[in-house]
Amino acid sequence: MSRTSAYFLAAGLLWAALPATPVFAQQPGYGAPISLDLAKRAAAGAVAEAKRLKLAVAVAVVDTHGTPVYLEVLDDTMTASPNFAFQKARTAATLRRPSKALEEGIAGGRNALLSLPDLLMLEGGEPVLLNGKLVGAIGVSGGTSGQDGQIARAGVEAGK
C-alpha cells in the first residue's frame, strides 16, 4: 500500500470514529480550484483584520489539494509563521473543515488524530467556499490560535 493510500485510509477510519457534532458535520463538496483573484481578496480581508488587531501575521491561501496559491507576510512576522500558515490552510483544505476541529477533537480525547501526518491541529485554518463548494482554504499564523482563527474567518468573509 502506498503512503498516500495508507494516509487516506487512516484519515477515513479516524474521521468515521468521530462524534457527529456540528464541528464534524457533513463536509462541503469540491468546486473549481480557488482563483488568484479570490485568494488575494481573502488574504486582503485577513490582513485588514490583523492590522486592526495590531498583529504581525502570515496569511496563506491554498487550493483544494493544499497546493499554495498565495502568501502574504506582514513586516516583523515570526520566521516560522509562513510555514505554519500554509500547514493550517492545507489542513483545512484537505479535510474540508476548520483546523480547529482537529484541535477540539484532540482536546475531547481523540488522541488518534495525532497520528495523521502533515497536518497542523491548531486553530487558524478555514475552508473557503464558493456557492457552497470548497475551492480552497486560508491559514493564518502569528497571533494566538484564537486570534489566527478570527483573522482567517475575516479573510473568508472578505472573499465572499
Q: Give me Rg for the CA atoms of the chain.
A: 15
Domain assignments of the chain as residue spans, ordered by start: 30-158
Exposed / middle / buried, residue 128 (Cβ in 10 Å: 0-12, 13-18, 19+): buried
How many Cβ atoms sit within 10 Å of the Cβ of residue 3? 8
Pairing of strands 58-63, 125-130: unpaired
Q: Please, are residues 157 and 132 in contact by the beta-carbon 8 Å criterion?
A: no
Phi, psi angle pair for 133, to nearest 5°: -115, 145
Residue 12 pLDDT level (bands cut at 50, 70, 90): low
pLDDT by residue (tens digit) across 99-136? 999 999 999 999 998 898 889 999 999 999 999 999 99
Q: Please, are residues 129 and 27 in contact by the beta-carbon 8 Å criterion?
A: no
The CATH architecture annotation of domain 30-158 reads: 2-Layer Sandwich (3.30)
pLDDT by residue (tens digit) across 46-100? 999 999 999 999 999 999 999 999 999 999 999 999 999 999 999 999 999 999 9
